[in-house]
Amino acid sequence: MPARLLAEWIAFSKLEPFGPPADFIRSGIVASQIYNVNRMKESQPVAHAKDYLPTDMVEELPLDDDTLGERNAEAFRAAGEAQERMRRG
């Protein structure tokens, strides 16, 4: 692979992460959403995506609750809109 192409892929991966770290984050988002949707109000506190990541990743990646919270909120909005469309038929 030419050095230029490698540099382009590295730059692209910073814009649109891919591979195992990104997969772990996506899985963490899904797991936290499933937990939060099904929890009782009296149960454990709200879960965050980083709660489901390997410990070493949480320390390595610059994950903050604002970024992950925005992604969770977007996913919840999309799910709510899909449910509403299904109800309307």
Half-sphere exposure of 41 (CA within 13 A, CB side): 0
pTM above 0.95, yes or no: no
Instruction: Answer positive or negative: Cα dihedral of 57, 58, 63, 68.
Output: positive
Q: For residue 48, what pLDDT is reported? A: 78
How deeply is 51 buried, as exposed, middle or buried, from its count of CB atoms within 10 A (0-12, 13-18, 19+)? middle
pLDDT digits (tens, 9 = 90+) for 36-84: 888 887 777 778 777 888 877 666 555 555 666 666 677 767 777 888 8
Sorted by where each begins, the domain ranges of the chain are 20-88
